[in-house]
Chains A and B, each alone.
Chain A
Amino acid sequence: MKDQGSIASLIGEDRAFQEAYWSFQRGAWALFALLITVALLGGAGGAGPFARQTIQAGSAVIDAPRVMRWAANDRISIRHAVAPRESIEIVLSPAFNDALQLDTISPQPFQSAATRAGTSYWFFLEPGARSDIVFDVKPLKPTLRFTGTVTVGQAPPVPLTFTILP
């Protein structure tokens, strides 16, 4: 008569390992559920209720993603509810050049320059009207924590931090 031990050894079953694997598998499924929830909330980039951050920079509000994805298009916009003057200078610190490829800027700046403080862009605005300046960007490399500064007009530079996922 075959006993369970001999059957298990005959077919090469390792029940202890199998039990451990099943427990690990259930834990991994819980992790899958967690990752899906994080992605739905915007924690993996793209859309979601917590996908974007807004930072006050003087009279403007910077709207940027919290998490970007390597080589995927994303958008940083600088909004004035009421444009304060006819033109404004926006300076992106040099760190942006290392992390992001700038695809398009809308509207086009009428002047730009590479300075010690970073890249400066000058835009025409309609005083008193709402204005949106949009930078379409593409991350160049995965980064756990990117920090650059954005200077809008005469306001002090504000840090902009985000993660770039692979």
Chain B
Amino acid sequence: MDMVARAASIYLVLLVILRISGRRSVAQLTPFDLVLLLIISETTQQALLGEDFSITNAIIVMITLFGVDLLLAWFKRRWPTVAKLVDGGPTLLVDRGKPDFHALRRSRLDIADILAAARTEQGLMRLSEIDFAVLEADGQVSIIPKQKTS
């Protein structure tokens, strides 16, 4: 019983900590973020397995983790509020060419991040070429360029 409780509680604690820490998609990971993830996985391994390194324990822990994940996915489908709480939603960062500095500051982003996304996604160099920028729930910044008037 305790191994199921361990796995489920570690899953929920990680979910809450990662959600609170803020959005950052895998694509945005810096090398140090990657190292941090490896350290976290190493740290949680002992808490997940305890001193029982048997195959039975490992199987039960894996099944519990997948089970909790499936359960959470079902909750998210069933109740959209749960999905919003767990995954968050999109945030408008640039509205009709005007940066929303409040949203940027609260999302811990700046104009440089918007411009970096604009260069990567659309090949845009200037803020004046951006109509809308949206921080997506997965941490990506989507850029919608201004319509060119001829």
Tell me the A residues contacting B by CB distance below 8 Å: 2, 4, 7-8, 11-15, 17-19, 21-22, 24-25, 28-29, 32, 71, 166
Across the interface, which residues of A come within 8 angstroms of B148, CB to CB? none
1/0 per residue, CB under 8 A from A, across B44-88: the answer is: 000000110000000000000000000000000000000010001
Determine whether the beta carbon of B89 is less than 8 Å from that of A22.
no
A-B contacts, CB under 8 A, total: 41
Per a CB cutoff under 8 Å, which of A7, A24, A25 touches B95?
A7
Determine whether the beta carbon of A8 is less than 8 Å from that of B92.
yes
Across the interface, which residues of A come within 8 angstroms of B22, CB to CB? 25
Determine whether the beta carbon of B92 is less than 8 Å from that of A71.
no
Tell me the B residues contacting A by CB distance below 8 Å: 9, 20, 22, 50-51, 84, 88-92, 95-96, 103, 106-107, 132, 134
A17–B88 CA distance with the chains assembled, in angstroms: 9
Q: Is the interface of A mostly helix, strand, loop or mixed?
A: helix
Q: Is the interface of B mostly helix, strand, loop or mixed?
A: mixed
Determine whether the beta carbon of A17 is less than 8 Å from that of B89.
yes
Leading 6 A-B pairs by shortest Cβ distance: A28-B20, A22-B106, A11-B90, A13-B90, A11-B134, A13-B92
Determine whether the beta carbon of A12 is less than 8 Å from that of B89.
yes
Across the interface, which residues of A come within 8 angstroms of B103, CB to CB? 18
Across the interface, which residues of B come within 8 angstroms of A19, CB to CB? 106
Q: How far is the CB of B48 from chain A (nearest CB, A)?
A: 12
Per a CB cutoff under 8 Å, which of A7, A17, A29, A166 touches B92?
A7
